Amino acid sequence: MYDLIIIGGGPAASAAGVYAARKKIKTLLVAESFGGQSIVSQDIQNWIGTPSISGYDLAQSFETHLRAQEDIEIETGELIKTVSKEGDVFVAMTEGGKRYETKTVLITTGGRRRKLGVKGEKEFDGKGVAYCSICDAPLFGGKVVAVVGGGNAGLEAVIDLLPYATKIYLLQRSGALKGDAVTQERIMQDPKVEVIFNATTLEIIGDSFVNELVYVDTTTNGFDKLTTRETHHLDVQGVFIEIGSLPNSELVKDVAATTPYGEIEVDVYGKTSMQGIWAAGDVTNLKYKQNNIAAGDAIRAVLNIYDYLMYNK
């Protein structure tokens, strides 16, 4: 029986693990893999204390810091499927049927890529449709590609593709890009990049691999607010989808309250609706999904868990 099980492998989980170990809380950390969502970022410039670091190096530093602690058990390659309550005990079950018992749980499972949900997306996944630009951009040398999504992840995908693709369309649903101004400026200067605003992707078409993307133009006429909803076709061999994330909260859906978006509802200490379960980071309903915030919120949750364990000894 553990005092605490931390579920996840991103910044929140790593920060929580370090603090839990230093408090000598009997802790197990279970992660499918280490790194979190920003592992695919080429260059992170806002991790405080570090002007520039790759997502991969940041992930390595989290894991190294965590493994430097003596008092923590770590399981990797395991996915926790459910967390349930049996009497006073919480039970975490893995996909493979392993069972762990604990007094408290901290959910730091983060988010996963949101899918577009259009025709052809699933069919051509890995056949021109890609979700990891830093991984797969080199395979699109000499090709024309589309990036869907004008947030930071979309802008970064464009940057990853610049050395390889001959032409990059950036499709944004609304009339303005959402990513950091610094990155916007950088991509706007490049003649290879063409930003298409008010573009809603309808379909991805191909034979064995992608060769076309269809979108509808939702630009409204300023005078009568009408839109022609004209359909356009782009000849592209790749579609990189970067439209945000969904919370990985399914494991607690039967024991803790979530918002309609699936985010776990927490209070200022990270407490969920179920006493004994805390959550922190991108999986929660707190606004602004950031590495720094996830780490800080997870630490606050662990300190609160420590108090709870002391009080309920």
Partner 1 sequence: MITIYTTPTCVYCKKAKEFFTKNNVEYKETNVLEDLEARKAMVDKSGQLGVPVIDVDGEIVIGFNEGKLRELLRI
**Of the two residues 5 and 145, which places its CB atom closer to partner 1 in the complex?**
145
Name the nearest CA neighbour of 293 among 31, 48, 44, 34: 48
Among 73-81, 177-185, 224-232, 302-310, the segment contacting partner 1 (CB under 8 A) = 73-81
**Of the two residues 50 and 64, which places its CB atom closer to partner 1 in the complex?**
64
282 binds partner 1 (CB under 8 A): no
Shortest separation between residue 134's beta carbon and partner 1, angstroms: 5
**Of the two residues 56 and 197, which places its CB atom closer to partner 1 in the complex?**
56
Among 31-39, 82-90, 193-201, 286-294, the segment contacting partner 1 (CB under 8 A) = 31-39
Among 75-83, 100-108, 179-187, 284-292, the segment contacting partner 1 (CB under 8 A) = 75-83
Among 3, 121, 136, 297, which residue sits at the site for partner 1 (rule: CB under 8 A)?
136
Among 35-43, 66-74, 148-156, 211-219, the segment contacting partner 1 (CB under 8 A) = 35-43
The torsion angles phi and psi of 8, rounded to 5 degrees, stand at: 135, 170
55 binds partner 1 (CB under 8 A): yes
Among 74, 91, 93, 132, which residue sits at the site for partner 1 (rule: CB under 8 A)?
132
162 binds partner 1 (CB under 8 A): no
Among 37-45, 249-257, 287-295, 299-307, the segment contacting partner 1 (CB under 8 A) = 37-45
74 binds partner 1 (CB under 8 A): no
77 binds partner 1 (CB under 8 A): yes
**Of the two residues 63 and 297, which places its CB atom closer to partner 1 in the complex?**
63
Distance (Å, whole) CA 93 – CA 114: 25
8 binds partner 1 (CB under 8 A): no
90 in the Ramachandran plot: left (φ > 0), alpha (ψ -120 to 50) or beta?
Answer: beta
Distance (Å, whole) CA 254 – CA 26: 26
Distance (Å, whole) CA 201 – CA 224: 24
128 binds partner 1 (CB under 8 A): yes
Name the nearest CA neighbour of 125 among 203, 49, 239: 239
137 binds partner 1 (CB under 8 A): yes
Site for partner 1 in 202-221 (CB under 8 A): 209
Site for partner 1 in 95-124 (CB under 8 A): 95-96
Residue 166's CB is within 10 A of a number of other CB atoms, namely 13
Among 56, 115, 198, 219, which residue sits at the site for partner 1 (rule: CB under 8 A)?
56
Q: Are 168 and 155 in contact (CB under 8 A)?
A: no
33 binds partner 1 (CB under 8 A): yes
Among 12, 30, 106, 134, which residue sits at the site for partner 1 (rule: CB under 8 A)?
134
**Residues making contact with partner 1 (CB under 8 A):** 32-35, 39-40, 42, 55-56, 59, 76-79, 95-96, 126-128, 130, 132, 134-139, 141, 160, 209
